[in-house]
Amino acid sequence: MIFTEITNILPFLLFGALLPLLFNCCRRILPLVTVSLCFSLAIELTRYLTSRGLFAVDDVMLNVLGAVCGYFIFVYIHDGILAIKNRSMHDAKKQKKFSSFPKIYTAGLCVRYEGVLVAIQILAVLLQISVIMGFSSDTGNASRAWSRPIACAVARVISLFSSMFSKNSESNVPKITDMASLINSQSLYIDRIEAIVRKIAHVTEYAILAFLVWVLAYSRPYIKRYVSYLSGLLLVLLIGFLDEFNQLHVTGRSGSLIDVLIDLSGAILALTAAFILSRLVAKKPQ
């Protein structure tokens, strides 16, 4: 059931993201919904008339929902990039009058009002926080259910490359043939790889969170630059502490201050990349 819903949403997710990129008329939500609805109805009617399936209204609704989600992804990326560029233009011109902000800020944006883009950017931050806390609330066995297979797959790749490039028949990397038995095995080698995979996941999810917060703050011309970086660090610290505190009350999990520092390192990497990005945008001729 879930797989069917995903197959109905994902194609139109791409459709909703690409349509406004290709056609300027679809950079407003109403034309995009109209085109998506007509396209979905055409698909369902074709299936019904050719006896390849029933006319499913819920499929049409899921298709349109996927297109709308894709549109919001496009708006977030497109308008976010433009807002950062416009912020750089504002800083370069050193304009001090607040009355000049709206004209600079809204130039070329898909959304007509700043509040719409702010809402989309805040929603992106909240979704990332929910993803982090969702993983945090998994029990120890549920958490290992996704990290263990990834660790085994990484070990398999390492084993294959080791056998390909090792000149000697003997190698320090163990040969891996049976993935199914390896997942349930008590291998110290796999445990070490799994620990690395989990730390990389920590860095990645908090780097994404810090970057989303930076985009939200930096694209507002009336917010000082250092605030956009500081807000990313502070929110990562806050969510990191809540994450570890929550794990203290979850079966099979434990909290660690080291993990908070790892989360903070992910935020620092993301904000460093954001700083480089903002400098590159500022140097481009406007």
Could you tell me the CA-to-CA distances from 54 to 6, 108, 262 in Å, in that order? 18, 42, 51
Q: Which of 200, 272, 187, 195 is nearest to 233 (CA)?
A: 272
pLDDT at 262: 92
Joined together, the tokens standing for residue 14 give: 């791409």
Percent of the chain with pLDDT over 90: 18
- Six token digits for residue 21: 């990129």
Question: pLDDT digit string (tens) for 32-80?
Answer: 889 989 988 888 888 878 877 777 788 888 889 989 888 888 888 877 7
Listed in sequence order, the DSSP H helices in the chain are: 2-22, 29-49, 57-93, 101-105, 114-136, 140-165, 179-183, 188-218, 225-247, 257-283
pLDDT in tens, 149-165: 888 788 777 777 776 76
Q: Say if pTM beats, i.e. exceeds, 0.85.
A: no
- CA neighbor of 222 nearest in space, from 113, 111, 104, 119: 104
